[in-house]
């Protein structure tokens, strides 16, 4: 029997790898097997298409391409120009953006490009004129520190980590928390929702240079029209990090006030997660910031990754197909069905449900920490990640929450009926798990007790649930 193109491509690739380092080939094959067998509910993970995966394994990996299209620091970049232009074209059409910069290697790189572009654009001071330079990256270290003192308003207001924000929105140990005088806005303690009046009050008091919206663990929509009005009221640049929900914007599930692109001065995103592309980042902006954004390399980035830009072009082309809108809607439908199933079984959810692709379970209702719940679920074949909840008493390491999401399972084809079954499996594990004790007999935030027979049974049920929905069905590694 002849093999299809996908199977031939991946089998051939593994044979070539195995001839050099068989352990790497074995690990690649094992990873596919593990992903096929796991009920993957990590909200930030997905499955890229075979075409996207194959676009990363090619000769573009061998090419340096610092600079931008037509203005490279290396010769021979005409083919890199082609794929970068294609990726940018697809991004602009998909999101309705005036400008797209597709070089960032990750979400944090995209955010750093945005931060520095905003700073470079906003800098108008005697220190800069005295230095007789036009670009922030031309400043000497002494000039830069003098400039920072003169600016005085190098402030960022972003969503707090425990409320659902991201590390790069000003978390102190992160570079964003060191670059800026930072303050956070949280959520209403009673509802877990953003209180826009309180955000406006914080903005008036703090007068930030940058107001950041976006999240990694907030299970609701954000009204970007209101956030832009708040930013405008204090003269702030409005930046949105849509890394988690970019696929819902691309698929036109989030429109109007809930689509960040028409409202933000600058938008950053990853290209994986709900967008279902390769691991990487991207920046969208208007013409007023385009020149500064395009200086991301060498301002922040090193050499672009042309092979990943090629994969971004493929994935963005896929997202422009009509069926992507239906896929994006199914992600949200599945998340809401999963939330409903958990609520009916007595689970406590932050904000009481979801409007997007993720659900945040407060596992303290089960008497567990997030770390205990995460490992107990993993032992049972359900892959999640622990996450802080608002005002979390267990902090960011042990946490009191579990974040789950539906992009990956939706890609496999699971629907709302399977989400209810998934809710039953999650509840069973959490309900049957109890906290363990440490060596001194005291209660532990990490150790737990779960009957191995329960874990085995749930793991079998999870595998049975996945059987009708094979992962990469066109790929047969033999």
Residues that are catalytic: 64, 66, 241, 270, 273, 279
Cα–Cα distance measured from residue 404 to residue 40, given in angstroms and rounded to the nearest whole number: 9
| Nearest CA among 286, 273, 284 for reference residue 315 | 273
Tell me the C-alpha to C-alpha distance, in Å, between residue 26 and each of 29, 46, 50, 185: 5, 22, 19, 47
Cα–Cα distance measured from residue 91 to residue 179, given in angstroms and rounded to the nearest whole number: 29
Q: 435 forms bridges with which residues in the sheet? A: 448
């Amino acid at each position: 029997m002849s093999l299809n193109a996908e199977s031939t491509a991946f089998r051939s690739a593994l044979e070539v790898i195995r001839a050099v380092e068989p352990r790497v080939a074995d690990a690649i094959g094992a990873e596919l097997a593990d992903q096929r067998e796991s009920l993957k509910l990590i909200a930030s993970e997905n499955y890229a298409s075979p075409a996207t995966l194959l676009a990363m394994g090619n000769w573009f990996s061998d090419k340096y391409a610092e600079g931008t299209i037509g203005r490279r620091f290396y010769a021979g970049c005409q083919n890199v120009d082609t794929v970068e232009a294609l990726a940018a074209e697809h991004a602009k059409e998909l999101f309705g953006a005036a400008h797209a910069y597709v070089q960032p290697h990750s979400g944090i790189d995209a955010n750093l490009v945005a931060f520095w572009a905003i700073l470079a654009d906003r800098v108008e001071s005697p220190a800069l004129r005295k230095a007789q330079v036009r670009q922030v990256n031309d400043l000497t270290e002494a000039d830069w520190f003098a400039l920072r003192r003169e600016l005085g308003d190098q402030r960022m207001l972003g969503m707090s980590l425990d409320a659902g924000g991201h590390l790069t929105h000003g978390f102190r140990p992160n570079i964003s928390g060191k670059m800026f005088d930072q303050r956070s806005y949280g959520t209403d303690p009673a509802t877990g929702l953003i209180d826009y009046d309180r955000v406006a009050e914080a903005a008036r008091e703090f007068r930030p240079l940058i107001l950041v919206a976006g999240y990694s663990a907030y299970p609701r929509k954000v009204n970007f029209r209101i956030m832009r009005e708040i930013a405008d009221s204090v003269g702030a640049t409005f930046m949105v990090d849509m890394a988690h929900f970019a696929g819902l914007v691309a698929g036109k599930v989030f429109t109007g006030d809930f689509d960040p692109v028409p409202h933000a001065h600058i938008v950053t995103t990853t290209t994986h997660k709900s967008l279902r592309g390769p691991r990487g980042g991207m920046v969208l902006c208007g013409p007023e910031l385009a020149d500064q954004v395009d200086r991301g390399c060498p301002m922040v980035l090193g050499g672009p990754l042309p092979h990943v830009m090629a994969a971004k072009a493929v994935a963005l082309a896929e997202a422009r197909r009509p069926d992507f809108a239906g896929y994006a809607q199914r992600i949200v439908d599945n998340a809401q069905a999963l939330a409903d199933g958990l609520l009916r079984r007595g689970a406590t959810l932050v904000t009481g449900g979801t409007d997007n692709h993720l659900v945040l379970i407060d596992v303290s209702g089960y008497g567990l920490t997030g770390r205990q719940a995460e490992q107990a679920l993993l032992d049972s074949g359900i892959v999640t990640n622990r996450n802080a909840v608002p005002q979390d008493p267990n902090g960011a390491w042990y946490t009191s929450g579990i974040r789950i999401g539906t992009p990956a399972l939706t890609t496999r084809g699971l629907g709302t009926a399977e989400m209810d079954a998934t809710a039953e499996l999650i509840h069973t594990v959490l309900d049957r798990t109890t906290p363990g004790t440490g060596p001194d007999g005291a209660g532990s935030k990490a150790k737990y007790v779960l009957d191995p027979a329960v874990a085995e049974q749930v793991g079998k049920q999870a595998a049975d649930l996945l059987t009708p929905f094979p992962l990469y069905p066109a790929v047969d590694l033999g």
